[in-house]
Amino acid sequence: MHAILSGFAEYYSSNLSAESKKGMAQKAKSGGTHGVAPIGYLNTLARIDGREVKGVALDPERAPHILWAFRTYATGDWSISMLRDALEDRGLKSRVTQRYRGTPLSDAQVHRR
C-alpha cells in the first residue's frame, strides 16, 4: 500500500512540475512574466486581444540607482556594504506595498540584485 501511495505522490509531483514549467514557458512566449519584478522594474498589466498580459517596465525612480550600482560595483573598488550605504545616501528604498513600507536595502538585497 505504501509503495502505491508513494507512486501516486511521485507522479503528482512530476506532473505538477511539468505543468508549471509549461505554463511559465507559455507565459513568456506570449510576452508575460511571472512573479514580482526585481527592484528597478515595475510590474505592468496590459490587455492584448482581450486578455490580460503581465509584464515589466523600467521603474523611472529606481532604475537609475540600480544602473549606477551595477556600474560602480563592476569597477571592483566597492564592497557590498559600501554600495549599500551609497544607495541609502542616494535615497534608494525598497518598494512600498500594502504590507511593507519602503526601507533601505540590506546587504543581502544588494548582493542578490
Residues 54 and 11 in one domain: yes
Per-residue pLDDT tens digits for 14-69: 999 999 999 888 877 876 677 788 888 888 888 878 877 788 889 999 999 999 99
Concatenated DSSP letters for the chain?
-HHHHHHHHHHHHHHHHHHHHHHHHHHHHTT---SPPPTTEEEEEEEETTEEEEEEEE-TTTHHHHHHHHHHHHTS---HHHHHHHHHHHT-BPPP-SS----BPPHHHHHH-
- Structure-model confidence comparison of residues 96 and 22, the more confident one: 22
Residues 74 and 107 in one domain: yes
Specify the pLDDT at position 107.
Answer: 87
Structural domain boundaries enclosing 99? 63-112
Residues 52 and 67 in one domain: no
Specify the pLDDT at position 21.
Answer: 93
Specify the pLDDT at position 96.
Answer: 80
Residues 73 and 33 in one domain: no
> pTM of the full predicted structure?
0.67
Specify the pLDDT at position 16.
Answer: 96
Give residues with Cβ within 8 angstroms of 29, minimum separation 6: none
Residues 12 and 52 in one domain: yes
